Chains A and B, each alone.
Chain A
Amino acid sequence: MDFDLMLRVYPFFIEAAGTTILLSVLTAILGLTCGALGAAARLSRLVVFRFLGAAYVSVFRGTPALIQLFILYFGGPQIGIQLDAFEAGVIGLGINAGAYMTETIRGAIISIDKGQREAARTLGLSQFQGFYKVILPQAARLMVRPLGVNLNMLIKATALVAAISVIELTYTAQRYIGSTYKPFEMFLLAGILYMIIIYATGRGVAWLDRKVQIN
C-alpha cells in the first residue's frame, strides 16, 4: 500500500469531503422540509392530500435514487429544467430523502397515544393547538433516532452524485484513480473520510436524543 501517495493527496480529499458535508447539510434541510410536508399531507383530513402524500412516498421510495438523479439532471433540460450538477444533486437527493423522512415523521406522530389528543381537545384546544402543544413535542422526541438513520443513509447516498459529476468525495477518488492507478488507496481514503463524517453525525444524533428525552 502506498502511504506516501495517500499522504500527498489527502488534502484534496478533505476539500472534497467539505463538498460532501455541504451537500449532506443542504439535502438534509430539503429532506426534512419535504418530509414534514409529506407527513402533513399523509395525515391530512382531505383525501386529495393523503393521496398525494402516499404517491410521493411510493414513487420516490419505489425507484432508485440514481435513476431519479439521472432523470432530473440528464432528462431535466429536455423538459426545461436546467440545473447544474450540484443543484440537481441537492434537489434530487433532498426529495428522495424527504420520502423516507415522511414515513419517519408520520410514524412518530401516529404512535402518540390517542388519549393525548383527546385530553388536549377536552381542555378546549383546537386541533392545531393540540398538535403543536401536545402531540408534536412528544413525537419530535421519538423522531430523533429514526431521522438519524435517515441522515446516515442520506450522507451515504451523496456518493451517487459522483455519477452526475459533482466534485465530492467519491468523484474525487475516481479522478485520482485516473491519474494514479491506485484504486485501493483512493477508495480507502474516501471510505475513511465518509466514516468520520458518519461517526460524528451519529454521535451528534445520540447527543441530541439524550438531550430531548423527558427527565
Chain B
Amino acid sequence: MTDPNHFVQIRHAQKSFGSLEVLKDISLNVARGQIVAIIGPSGSGKSTLLRAINDLDALTGGEVWLDGVQVNKSLPHRQYEKHINEMRQQIGMVFQHFNLFPHMTARDNVTMAPKLLKGLTNEEADALAKEQLEKVGMLDRIDYYPSQLSGGQKQRVAIARALAMKPKLMLFDEATSALDPELVDEVNLVMKKLAEEHMTMIIVTHEMDFAAAVCDRVLFMDRGVVVEEGPPEVIFRNPEKDRTKEFLRKHLAGAK
C-alpha cells in the first residue's frame, strides 16, 4: 500500500502558455483524508493547478500522483486515453458553473457515468441515485431537470454526480463563486459533511471563512507560486509573507 501521507502528490508542476508561465515549480503533498484549500488572487494559477490534477489542463512539466499511480503518465495517445479515463473515475470534480447535463434529470445526471462505465443495472443505478441525492439533500428533486433547480440545488446535484463514481479525491473549483450569497451555505454544508466523512478534498475558494472552518491546510498562491502554506489558524491570523498579508487584508476588507 502507498504512503497515506503522500496520497496526492504534485511534483514540480510547471505550466506555460507560450512565454507566459502560470505555474512555476509547484510541489504539494496531500495526505489521505486531508482537506486543503487553495486561495489567492485571480490569475494566480490556483484553478490551473487544480485542473492539472485530473489533467483537464495538461502540465508542461512535472508529475501528479494519486494513491501511488502517476496521473499524467507519458503514454501513446490511445493508451493514455484509457489510463486517464480510469484515473478520472477516481477523481471527482465540481465546477464553478455546475456543468450539469441540461438534457438529463438529476437522477440521470448522477447515474449516467456509473451506468456507462461501471455497468450498473437500472436497479443499482436507481439505488445509487437515491443514496447520493439523499446525501446532498436533493432526493425530493430527483426527477427535476437542471433548469428547474436553483444554483445551490444544481451545485448539490453536481456534487452528487461526482460522488456517484465513488472517487478517492474530490476537487472543488470555486464551487460557490457563481451562487447568490443566500445559496452559498447549502453547498458549504454539503462540503462540510464530506469533510466529516474524511473525503480527501482540494478546494479552490474565495471564501476565507469556509476555508478556515473546514480545511486542515491552506495554500496561498500568487503569480504561479505557492507563497505560503500552513494550517488555517496560521495563514489567516498570523501570515508571515507580506503578499499573503496584503491579499488577506484586501480580501477580508472586501468581504466584510
Contact = CB atoms under 8 A, between A and B. Distances in A.
Interface string B16-50: 00000000000000000000000000000000000
Interface stretch (B61-69, B109-117, B120-128): B109-117
B103 A124 contact: no
A122 B103 contact: no
B165 interface: yes
A124 B113 contact: yes
A16 to B, nearest CB: 42
Contact of A123 (B103, B145, B161): B161
A123 B89 contact: yes
Interface residues of B, number: 29
B54 interface: yes
Given A118-B56, A133-B112, A215-B147, A124 B99 contact: no
Nearest to B51: A118
B11 interface: no
A134 B81 CA distance: 18
B6 interface: no
B88 A123 contact: yes
B101 A125 contact: no
B103 A138 contact: yes
A44 interface: no
A119 B162 CA distance: 9
Contacts of B5: none
A192 interface: no
Interface residues of A, number: 21
B150 interface: no
Contact of A115 (B54, B88, B97, B116): B97
A145 interface: no
B95 interface: yes
A214 B89 contact: no
B89 A119 contact: no
Interface string A179-215: 0000000000000000000000000000000000011
B174 to A, nearest CB: 13
Given A115-B99, A214-B102, A126 B81 contact: yes
B95 A124 contact: no
A124 B89 contact: yes
B85 interface: yes
A106 B56 CA distance: 23
B147 A124 contact: no
Contact of A122 (B56, B86, B117, B148): B56
B145 A119 contact: no
A121 interface: yes
Contact of A127 (B81, B95, B102, B162): B81
Nearest to B90: A124
Given A122-B93, A215-B145, A138 B88 contact: no
Contacts of A118: 56, 95, 99
A111 interface: no
Contacts of B95: 115, 118-119
B117 A124 contact: yes
6 contacts: A120-B101, A122-B56, A124-B165, A138-B103, A214-B147, A215-B147
**7 closest A-B pairs by CB:** A124-B89, A119-B99, A123-B113, A115-B99, A122-B93, A124-B88, A124-B85
